[in-house]
Structures are given as structure tokens and as C-alpha cells.
């Protein structure tokens, strides 16, 4: 079972948090896992299973989407980000492009504001997508999915239609008719439609009643996730994650 892992980050994001992610990925990912990292400018020399495609060149529809919707205002306040489709569109276009060019059996999206603490073997990665399921994800009761981790079965006969629909939400601006405009809401809309039609099944890998700690608990000892203010306080949270790992 072959695997591709994909992510993206901006130049500013690299300096704030993604440099730690990249260093840990180089250190801990199995050599036989393909790695695709979309960036605005090159971050490493492409070789072997590692590639570093240019985001703008690969995803011209992303640029069109951002240009077409640059006039839309984003509400102020702590929940304003939920309406910022432009800000969170990069991830969606990367996932769709990676899916259309994927040559492996599985495709994993992993947010670059995470950090790896332990060897990510191919066997460990495969264990998060049960046989017969199209996608594993971090679901939350009565809330939208946490898409810091997504794992897809690329051998599923409906995978092309799934990713076509995902892109359709952006290329038609239909995303603005959803309850909120994060990539999470688009993923949920696509998954729920295909599940309702009996075309695929998803697997929620979040432990029950985990609140905001669902990512760290799902990958306990292997990865931690620096959401929100944690990005600016990486050293504090990384030290806590390492201390917890040593106790295991």
C-alpha cells in the first residue's frame, strides 16, 4: 500500500511554524512515503520521493478564485475567520491538485502547523484508514470537521467525482452558500453528499469527548498541532508534547 503525504504553507507561515514541521518530517517520515509540499518559493531541493511544486503554477484556478472574491469583506471578531474563504482556499486547491496527480494508493493531508515527534512508518499511517473506508478525518460533535488530517483511499471508484465536487464549490463560488467558508465546511458538504448517496464511507478517528484536543489525542505521542496562539508559542507547547511523550 503506497502513500503520498501532502501539505502547503506560505513564506510567512514557514518562518512562524512550518520550518519546525518540515524539519520533523525530514527526520521522522519513512523513506518510501512520497512527500509533496506546495509553496510560493522553493524550500528544499527536490529529489527521490520529495517534491516541492510551485503553488501558483499548479493551481491557476486558486489565483482566479482569490482575485474574483478579493472584494468580499470578512466579519470582525474571533469568529470572523469562518467567513474567510479566500484565506483558506489554498489548502483545498492543493488537495484537489494532489489528488488528480496522485500515483499512490492513499493520499494524506497533514497541516503544516503540526510537528512530528516520533517515526511515522507507513504501517502506522495506514492504520488510520480502515479497509473499505474512503476517508479518515477528525470529526467533532455538532461542529465542522477538523481537517488538519485527512486520509483518502485513492483506489475508490468515486474519488475523482469527490474531488471534482470539492473544486466545484470554489470555481463556482458555491462555497458562499454554505453555512461558513472554511475548507472544513466544503469537505463536510462533499463527504455528507457522497455518504448519503451510498458512494463512500468515512471514518471519524477522533476519540470520544475530546474537545479541542482531538488531534493531539488521536496521534498521541506521534504528532502535536499548534492551532491558534500555539503557533506563536511553539516552544512552550512542543516542550509539553515532548514531556508527555517521555512519560509514555
pLDDT per position as a tens digit, 150-178: 999 999 999 999 999 999 999 999 999 99
Dihedral pair phi/psi, residue 215, rounded to 5°: -65, -55
Q: Who wins on pLDDT, 227 or 133? A: 133
Residue 141 pLDDT > 90: no
Q: Is the dihedral of CA 194, 199, 205, 210 positive or negative?
A: positive
Give the per-residue pLDDT at 79: 87
With 0.95 as the threshold, say if the pTM is over it.
no
Give 2-59 pLDDT, tens digit per residue: 999 999 999 999 998 999 999 999 999 999 999 999 999 999 999 999 999 999 999 9
Average pLDDT over residues 65-91: 94
- Which residues partner with 47 through β-bridges? 50
- For residue 55, which phi and psi values (nearest 5 degrees)? -60, -50
Amino acid at each position: 500500500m503506497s502513500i503520498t503525504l501532502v501539505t502547503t504553507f506560505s513564506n510567512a507561515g514557514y518562518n512562524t511554524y512550518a520550518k519546525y514541521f518540515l524539519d520533523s518530517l525530514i527526520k521522522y517520515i519513512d523513506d518510501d512515503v512520497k512527500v509533496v509540499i506546495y509553496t510560493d518559493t522553493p524550500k528544499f531541493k527536490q529529489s527521490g520521493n520529495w517534491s516541492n511544486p510551485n503553488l501558483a503554477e499548479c493551481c491557476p484556478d486558486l489565483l482566479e478564485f482569490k482575485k474574483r472574491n478579493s472584494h468580499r469583506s470578512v466579519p470582525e471578531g474571533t469568529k470572523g475567520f469562518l467567513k474567510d474563504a479566500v484565506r483558506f482556499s489554498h489548502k483545498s486547491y492543493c488537495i484537489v491538485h494532489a489528488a488528480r496527480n496522485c500515483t499512490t494508493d492513499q493520499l494524506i493531508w497533514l497541516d503544516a502547523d503540526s510537528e512530528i515527534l516520533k517515526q511515522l512508518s507507513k504501517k502506522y499511517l495506514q492504520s488510520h484508514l480502515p479497509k473499505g473506508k474512503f476517508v479518515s478525518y477528525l470529526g467533532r460533535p455538532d461542529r465542522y470537521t477538523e481537517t488538519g488530517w485527512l486520509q483518502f483511499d485513492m483506489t475508490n471508484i468515486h474519488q475523482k467525482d469527490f474531488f471534482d465536487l470539492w473544486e466545484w464549490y470554489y470555481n463556482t463560488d458555491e462555497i458562499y452558500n454554505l453555512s461558513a467558508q472554511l475548507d472544513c465546511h466544503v469537505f463536510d458538504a462533499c463527504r455528507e453528499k457522497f455518504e448519503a448517496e451510498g458512494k463512500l464511507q468515512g471514518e471519524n478517528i477522533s476519540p470520544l469527548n475530546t474537545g479541542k484536543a482531538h488531534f493531539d489525542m488521536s496521534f498521541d505521542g506521534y504528532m502535536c498541532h499548534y492551532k491558534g496562539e500555539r503557533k506563536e508559542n511553539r516552544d512552550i507547547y512542543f516542550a509539553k508534547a515532548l514531556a508527555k511523550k517521555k512519560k509514555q
